[in-house]
Amino acid sequence: MDFEQDTNAASWPSSVLRSYRLPDGHTLTLGSERFRCPEALFQPALLGREEMGVHELVYEAIRGAEVDNRRDLYNMVVISGGSTLFPGMAARMRRELVRLAPPTMKVQVIASPERNHSAWIGGSIVASLSTFQESWISRQEYDETGPL
């Protein structure tokens, strides 16, 4: 994910066009949309939003942690979910964090192959723990008291 390089390549439209066959048999041809969409994760202003990019959010979260924990946090940034499946996402996240982090920090971004399903897998594991089952409330309890 190198937005500038991809944007320059887009000046030659045929070089970025890719066709995808959809399950219903239709073909969808995409050009610069392929890299403009994921770029909004790093530059929300492209969509008219004033929020921080995902790399800045990670950086601010680490800065908000105890000083003694920051080295470990920079060394194990884990990305997960469908939005992280864009080609080059982990490398881009690492590059942006290296730019923001103190020069003495080692930055490692971990992108497991099953990251698209990691939230479900984690929730499944937690739900199966006997200690977690003690925290469950019934639908009736929820209806009576609402969210806590």
Is residue 134 in some structural domain? no
For 115, other C-beta atoms within 10 Å of its C-beta total 20
Task: Print pLDDT tens along the chain (148 aa).
Answer: 564 655 554 455 566 788 889 999 999 888 777 777 889 999 999 889 999 999 999 999 999 999 999 999 999 999 999 889 988 999 999 999 999 999 999 999 999 999 999 989 989 999 899 888 888 888 998 998 887 6
Residues 12 and 47 in one domain: yes
pTM: 0.70
DSSP 20: E
Same domain, 101 and 90: yes
Q: What Cα–Cα distance (Å) separates residue 29 from each residue in 2, 13, 16, 66, 129?
A: 21, 12, 10, 48, 46
pLDDT at position 37 is 81
pLDDT in the model for residue 75: 97
In this structure, the answer to whether residues 59 and 45 fall within a common structural domain is: no
Q: Does a structural domain hold residue 6?
A: yes
Domain of residue 85, residue span? 54-116
Please report which helix (H) or strand (E) contains residue 51, including its range.
none
77 phi/psi in degrees, rounded to 5:
-80, 120
Report DSSP letters for 64-101, one per residue.
Answer: TS-HHHHHHHHTTEE--SGGGGSTTHHHHHHHHHHHHS
| Domains contained in the chain, number | 2
Q: Which residues pair with 29 in a beta bridge?
A: 19
pLDDT at position 10, please?
46
In a domain, 121, yes or no: no
What is d(CA 147, CA 134) in angstroms, rounded to the nearest whole number?
Answer: 17
Domain stop point among 26, 51, 76: 51
Domain at 62, CATH number: 3.30.420.40
Q: Are residues 10 and 39 in the same domain?
A: yes
Write down the pLDDT at residue 137. 85
Report yes or no on 33 lying in a domain.
yes
Give the model's pLDDT for residue 68: 97
